[in-house]
Amino acid sequence: MRQIDKKEIVSAVAQLVQEANYFLGDDMLKALHDGKREEESVIGQDIFAQLLENAGIAAGERVPVCQDTGVAVIFLEIGNEVYINGNIYNAVNEGVSKGYQEGYLRKSMVKSPIDRINTGDNTPAVIHTRIVPGDKLKIIAAPKGGGSENMSRLQMLKPADGIEGVKEVVINAVREAGANPCPPVIVGVGIGGNFEKAALMAKEALLRPVDDSSKNPVIARLEQELLKDINKLGIGPQGLGGKKTALAVKIKEYPCHIASLPVAVNINCHAARHKEIVL
């Protein structure tokens, strides 16, 4: 049994939440460069250039890519041969507090959705935990801003709605979102499971590299079909028109009840932020 001290987790989380807000991944930067080259709208091309310039400034000066530094969404994969010396959830929240305060990141969390009093350190985090084989602890920080998160959708379809019904839900979600999630976007989709499982899968799908495809050929084909149809909407970069409304569509699926076909959509803005570390 391998032991990991609480202090290691606090330090790792503090580092991750800062780096996720300062540095876009290489896959995302490549997608922005490709988007600039492929965009036909002159305004859209200029927006891509500004997004790339903004990303460069953020990385160079270690300042946030976006002023909305988001809810601290943390994914934990805990090896079944790992012993955590201390409460792992307390450690994560201490790390979030430390990272957001030391990094001068905007604090956006309120204590209650009713009283709306700011917690002052961006805690509590939203934490998702999985137990996996091994003696490692993987921590993924995926800060999620309010503008894109508010465009999330979940619909419980009937099985008879089929694949066309799924497509309609996803395309309508992006159409109705318009400029609100700061396109070009990454679209995460969860299909199957039940009400809460579909929503979680839509968010987990956004953790995939921008340039990959599903290992399931049927899902990979659906991802490409949806991307093509979404980009026909003409919303374009920052909602000002163009062919690059979305840079990618990522789908995650799960078995479901014979009477159900849940579909969830979670949209990421152009600042598709996530960083990970393995302890």
Question: What pLDDT is attached to residue 41?
Answer: 96
Rounded to an integer, the average pLDDT of 105-120 is 97
Q: Can you give the pLDDT at residue 204?
A: 98
How many residues are given for the chain?
279
Q: Which pTM was predicted?
A: 0.95
Q: Count other C-beta atoms under 10 Å from residue 26's C-beta.
A: 11
Measure the CA–CA gap between 154 and 200, rounded to whole angstroms.
11
Whether residue 13 has pLDDT greater than 90: yes
Return the pLDDT at 25: 95
CA distance 137 to 151: 32
Average pLDDT over the chain reads 97
pLDDT of residue 192: 98
Instruction: Mention every residue, 6+ apart, whose C-beta is less than 8 A from residue 276.
Output: 16, 138, 139, 140, 141
Q: What is the DSSP letter of 151?
A: T
H or E element: which one contains 254? strand 246-256
* Angstrom distance (rounded) from CA 21 to CA 62: 9
Question: Rounded to whole angstroms, how far apart are CA atoms 244 and 82?
Answer: 44
The percentage of residues in the chain with a pLDDT greater than 90, rounded to a whole number, is: 99
Q: % helix / strand / coil in the chain, to the nearest 5?
A: 40, 25, 35
> Is the peptide bond prior to 184 cis by the omega test (within 30 degrees of 0)?
yes
What pLDDT was estimated at residue 114?
97
What pLDDT does residue 1 have?
Answer: 87
**Mind listing the pLDDT tens digit for each residue in 128-157?**
999 999 999 999 999 999 999 999 999 999
pLDDT in tens, 167-224: 999 999 999 999 999 999 999 999 999 999 999 999 999 999 999 999 999 999 999 9
For 31-43, what is the mean pLDDT? 97
Q: Residue 228: which pLDDT band, with cuts at 50, 70 and 90?
A: very high
Helix (H, G, I), strand (E, B) or coil at 223: helix
Q: How much is the average pLDDT of 60-77?
A: 97
